[in-house]
Amino acid sequence: MVQRVLTHPCRLSLLLLAGACSGGPADRGAPEGSIGVTVVSDGWQLIGDLVRGSPAASAPAVLLLNQAGGARAAYAPLAGALARRGIASLRIDLRGHGESVNLGAFVPGEADALDLLKGTEHDVAAALSFLAHSAGIDSTRIAVVGASYSGEIAVLATRRERPAQAYVLLSPGSLSAASVEWLDRLDAPWLFVASRLERMRAVRDVIEMVLKSARRADVVLLARPSGHATDLLENHPGLAEQLAAWLSARLQPPRED
């Protein structure tokens, strides 16, 4: 059954829906100590920023994937919120986006734009492997955040390779029924976030599908102002902190009996 987290005014859902209890200026900035990295995938040089977790122990980590036409900079507030909880992160520009344009740049509306993005699931797999083999990272506690087109791609990549330990999907307009079914069967939590005022028909259709058919999703539908994918982080102050809290709770190490 879908969990509509919509009740208590200082829990995740209503914070997101109403924008209450929002975070302060610290939410806006990238974390200190970010390390520039390059991940190679199918000849693409994917540029990213790695933030390591607590040096005292192996840290959980989150892979942050840009939306179509976006870039990794949009995740700076979330990376900072995760770092304050001792969680590592890798913000990466997927092929054709941001600084990852050594083989071409994605330009929405151009005839071959979508062709340029074919194989992006390999980028996700390569980035997850990079994270899993990075020093100080607990490879058994890695989550993925996808936005818009990268939401479905994140699920596809982990369906084919190793599943993540948690998923956050921001306005995933291409999310398929098969991926929803797979996520429901998977023993991992997943959070679906979108705007109630979403203008893209594809996303509205996905919202309807998730509300009707998803059994294990946490669903958060945001009120005004509207926004799409990583734009929600800018339009809803405090969202980054709340997503970080959700991820932190689900990336805790297993309890010892």
What's the CATH number where 174 sits? 3.40.50.1820
Query: Is residue 79 within 8 Å of residue 51, measured between CB atoms?
Result: yes
Higher-confidence position of 33 and 87: 87
Strand stretches in the chain, DSSP E? 3-4, 35-41, 44-51, 59-65, 88-92, 137-147, 166-170, 190-195, 217-222
Torsion of CA 69, 72, 191, 89, to 10 degrees: 160
CA dist 188 and 202 (Å) reads 25
End-to-end CA distance of the chain: 29
Mean pLDDT of the chain: 87
The mean per-residue pLDDT over the stretch 182-208 comes to: 95
> What local confidence, expressed as pLDDT, does residue 30 receive?
67
| The pLDDT of residue 112 is above 90 | no
Instruction: Write the CB contacts of 27 (distance below 8 Å, at least 6 apart in sequence).
Output: 77, 80, 81, 237, 238, 240, 241
Residue 123 identity: D
The mean per-residue pLDDT over the stretch 2-16 comes to: 35
Q: What digits encode the pLDDT tens for the residues 52-62?
A: 877 667 899 99
Q: What digits encode the pLDDT tens for the residues 127-165?
A: 999 999 999 999 999 999 999 999 999 999 999 889 999
* Domain membership of residue 203 as a residue range: 3-250
| Number of domains into which the chain is organized | 1
Asked, for residue 43, whether it belongs to a domain, the answer is yes
CA dist 26 and 43 (Å) reads 37
pLDDT band at 256; cut points 50, 70, 90? low
Asked, for residue 255, whether it belongs to a domain, the answer is no
> What local confidence, expressed as pLDDT, does residue 11 receive?
32
CA dist 229 and 195 (Å) reads 9
Asked, for residue 257, whether it belongs to a domain, the answer is no
Residue 255's alpha-carbon distances to 115, 124, 251, 252, in angstroms, are 45, 29, 12, 9
| The pLDDT of residue 100 is above 60 | yes
Q: Which two tokens stand for residue 169?
A: 């999907």
The mean per-residue pLDDT over the stretch 191-215 comes to: 96
Query: Is residue 164 within 8 Å of residue 247, measured between CB atoms?
Result: no
Which of helix, strand or coil describes residue 79? helix
| The pLDDT of residue 69 is above 90 | yes
Ranges 15-24, 65-74, 248-257: which has the least confidence: 15-24
Asked, for residue 256, whether it belongs to a domain, the answer is no
Higher-confidence position of 90 and 7: 90
| The pLDDT of residue 230 is above 50 | yes
> What local confidence, expressed as pLDDT, does residue 165 receive?
97
> What local confidence, expressed as pLDDT, does residue 216 receive?
93
